[in-house]
């Protein structure tokens, strides 16, 4: 038998999927909903948290809970766009960037295989689909490599091919986790909504790490798509 919070979440979910509760509609107050379902306010909030985690309901502090508009999922395609994060998605996104120079903290010295306190160029990308935040990306490049590429600007333009290090390998690791409070605030999502966390490390033919990227994508509007193409026998013969 489902718990009360799951039963309440199921009922509200059905009302949303059937269109009885329409996108953008403000739900009754938490006190009203708790009275309607004859449960405590804490149980009601736990039920709403389930729907917030699924991206169906959005809580706007000071205004209440609202049915969210369904967001079109955009795929992160990775791999081939390793040095051009603004082209790594299946649909065009508006991007801004902020560039700083930092001393590499311990977790980045390991990731980039650089000495402690090594200077890195950090580029923080924020992507938007229309007015909706779509993701965050922290890009880290060793300072000597950053100097030979055109500086990142507020309006991003792809780097010319001759300025990009020749890549030998790109490793990408994807995991799911809850956002940090800062990430939730920036992306305007519930702290209970899972995000895709992607770590991408690009190396050249000498084995040197030329770039590391840490991406955060909300689970309700993004997915990771990786395609592997195999050479067919016909292609091999033609080659």
State the Cα–Cα distance between residues 139 and 99, nearest whole angstrom. Answer: 9
Tens-place pLDDT, residues 9-26: 999 999 998 989 998 899
Please check whether residue 37 is in contact with residue 186, taking contact to mean a CB–CB distance below 8 angstroms: no
Residue 235, in any domain of the structure: no
Between 40-44, 150-154, 228-232, the lowest mean confidence (pLDDT) is in 150-154
Burial 1-18 (b: 16+ CB within 10 A, else e): eeebbeebbeebbeebee
What's the whole-number mean pLDDT along residues 119-123? Answer: 91
The distance in angstroms from the start CA to the end CA of the chain is 62
Please check whether residue 70 is in contact with residue 217, taking contact to mean a CB–CB distance below 8 angstroms: no
Strand partners of residue 141: 121
Q: What CATH number does the domain containing 145 carry?
A: 3.40.1410.10
Rounded to two decimals, what is the model's pTM?
Answer: 0.69
Q: Does 60 share its domain with 100?
A: no
State the Cα–Cα distance between residues 143 and 140, nearest whole angstrom. Answer: 9
Between 53-67, 75-89, 103-117, the lowest mean confidence (pLDDT) is in 75-89
Between 34-48, 90-104, 165-179, 192-206, the lowest mean confidence (pLDDT) is in 90-104
Q: Does 212 share its domain with 111?
A: yes
Q: Does 119 share its domain with 151?
A: yes
Residue finishing a domain among 67, 94, 119: 67
Please check whether residue 179 is in contact with residue 52, taking contact to mean a CB–CB distance below 8 angstroms: no
Q: Which domain holds residue 42?
A: 4-67
Residue finishing a domain among 67, 87, 121: 67
Q: Does 37 share its domain with 101?
A: no
């Amino acid at each position: 038998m489902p718990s009360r919070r799951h039963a309440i979440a199921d009922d509200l979910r059905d009302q949303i999927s059937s269109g009885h509760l329409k996108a953008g509609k403000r739900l009754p107050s938490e006190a009203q909903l708790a009275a309607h379902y004859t449960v405590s306010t804490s149980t009601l909030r736990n039920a709403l948290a389930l729907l917030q985690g699924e991206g169906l309901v959005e809580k706007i502090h000071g205004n209440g809970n609202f049915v969210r508009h369904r967001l079109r999922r955009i795929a992160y395609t990775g791999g081939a766009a390793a040095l051009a994060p603004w082209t790594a998605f299946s649909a065009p996104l508006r991007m801004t960037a902020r560039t700083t120079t930092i001393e590499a903290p311990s977790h980045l010295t390991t990731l980039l295989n650089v000495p402690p306190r090594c200077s890195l160029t950090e580029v923080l990308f924020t992507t938007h689909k229309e007015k909706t935040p779509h993701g965050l990306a922290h890009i880290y490049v060793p300072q000597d490599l950053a100097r030979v590429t055109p500086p990142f600007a507020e309006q991003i333009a792809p780097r010319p091919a001759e300025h990009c290090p020749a890549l030998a390998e790109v490793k990408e690791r994807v995991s799911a986790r809850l956002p940090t409070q800062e990430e939730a605030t920036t992306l305007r999502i519930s702290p209970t909504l899972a995000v895709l966390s992607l770590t991408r490390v690009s190396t050249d033919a000498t084995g040197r790490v030329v770039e590391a990227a840490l991406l955060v994508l909300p689970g309700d509007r993004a997915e990771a798509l990786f395609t592997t193409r195999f050479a067919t026998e016909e292609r091999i013969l033609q080659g």
